A = this chain, B = another copy of it.
Amino acid sequence: MRTIVHGDFAYSEKITEISTLKGGYMVVEDGRIQGLVAEKPELEDSDRYLDFEGRLIMPGLADMHLHAPQFPNVGLGTDMELLQWLETYTFPEETKYQEVDYAQLVYKKLINKLWSVGTLYSGVYGTIHEEASTKLYDLFVESGLHSRVGKVNMDRNAPDFYVETTEDSIRDTERFIKANLDKSERVKPIITPRFVPTCTAELMQALGELAAKYDLAVQSHLDENKSEIDWVCSLHPESDSYSHVYEQFKLFGAQPTLMGHCIYCNEDELKLMANTDVMAVHCPFSNANLISGIMPVKRYLELGIKVGLGSDISGGNEVNMAKVIVLSMQLSKMLAVHNANPEDFLSTAEAFYLGTKAGGEFFGKHGSFEEGYEADFLVVDDADYLINDLTVQERLEKFLYVGSEQNIVHRYLSGEVVEKPFDI
């Protein structure tokens, strides 16, 4: 079946500029984009015509790093630094997910929120609990949204009330994978060692093997702050760097890998990242709230490192990736001032690319409107805040800076509308 979508399009092809087409037509066949054209195609009887005249049509947003169980804590404890915050707010909350009913309540609210803000793709951490993580997985499958969902692993340096044995951790993870792997094309398990300090070498070894055995992506945390790096170095004196610990266990680019934060990577680590399939996931809200620092995104891009964006709920307080795109620009500008190189900041085109195409491509042909991409898009009604006539590019900028979830009127994946997932 062919679908023709009419509206004002804004999307990324190249990172250096935003592509736009005012009053254009997207031609979709079997959920895939055949092309964007300026002239209305001749309609056939079997065609479906979606008329979004005057509305802004943009790709879905990709949140490449978020902790589902921390959703109730969003906005709390921001006067604390990372390790104190983990102990006071995060671990006690995550412990609650041994109760699947609680997990279901929170996860439904979270997935509704992701849908609401237009996050069509996500890389998500659950907890150590197999059952609650499968619940999270099932709810994503039910929602129709794309996601990579991980059962978290932690078998050392964790509080007594929130830790696994090595054996349980490995067994539960494989069971989680096998139970879920074939449920949906849109949702897949992802190997999720929380971070080096909470995973023994034996566990990391086994997780690397599971990633290879089931051909799964990997996600974890890297170089978020200096005391964390010192801790990793003291735990692994045999390794040259934090990244090399992951790498020795095949958890660093042997499979597609998402590494959250990456603020203080050294030159060796940067080379390794540029040469392997690792995406550095920038989480500006979290890095600001937890006094971590600013990822030098511009430099990473120049080095050819893949970069995506994450909300890092609840280190970050903002689920809406449009606002994460904005803060990534703002923090890059503060870093530029600090480096006395004020021209060296992330432009709107660059930050938008990171939040749409760069993230979306982790899931396949998603996040752009080029030929061959899935027909995934958001329909934005921006009439309530427009006063003057603006170009499509200016309207996109305005949506990022002042729009909200209330302005997103439809979300589409592969040419089909995605309805609000849960009625709660």
A257 to B289, CA, bound (A): 32
Residue A329 interfacial (CB < 8 Å): yes
Known: A342-B291, A387-B106. A74 touches B333 (CB 8 A): no
Contact with B along A378-389 (1 / 0, CB 8 A): 000000010110
Chain B residues within 8 Å of A15, by CB? none
Q: Least Cβ distance of A258 to chain B in Å?
A: 23
Which residue of chain B has the shortest Cβ distance to A384 in the bound complex?
A: B109
Main secondary structure of the interface of A (DSSP, over half): helix
Would A76 and B317 count as touching, CB distance under 8 A?
no
CB-CB contacts below 8 Å: A325-364 with B: 326-327, 329-331, 333-334, 336-338, 342, 345, 347-348
Contacts of A331 in B (CB 8 A): 288, 334
Q: Are B404 and A291 in contact (CB under 8 A)?
A: no
A144 at the interface (CB under 8 A from B): no
Q: Contact size class for A? A: 35 or more
Q: Would you call A400 an interface residue if the criterion is a C-beta within 8 Å of the partner chain's C-beta atoms?
A: yes
CB of A422 within 8 Å of the partner chain: no
Query: Which residues from 251 to 274 on chain A have a C-beta closer than 8 Å to any C-beta of chain B?
Result: none
For residue A138, CB closer than 8 A to chain B, the reply is: no
Question: Is B109 touching A387 in the complex (CB atoms < 8 A)?
Answer: yes
Contact B79 A347 (CB under 8 A): yes
Within 8 A of B (CB), among A26-84: 71-72, 74-76, 78-79, 81
Residues in B neighbouring A400, C-beta threshold 8 A: 75
* Interface residue ranges of A279-334 to B (CB < 8 Å): 285, 288-289, 291-294, 317-318, 326-327, 329-331, 333-334
Is B398 touching A334 in the complex (CB atoms < 8 A)?
Answer: no
A1 in the interface (beta carbon within 8 A): no
Q: Tell me the minimal C-beta distance from A322 to chain B in angstroms.
A: 11
A179 in the interface (beta carbon within 8 A): no
Residues of B within 8 A of A345 (CB): 291
What would be 29 A-B contacts, judged by CB atoms less than 8 Å apart? A71-B387, A72-B387, A72-B388, A74-B385, A74-B398, A74-B401, A74-B402, A75-B398, A75-B400, A75-B401, A75-B402, A76-B390, A76-B397, A78-B397, A78-B401, A79-B347, A81-B342, A105-B387, A106-B387, A109-B387, A288-B331, A288-B333, A289-B329, A289-B330, A291-B336, A291-B342, A294-B337, A317-B401, A338-B338
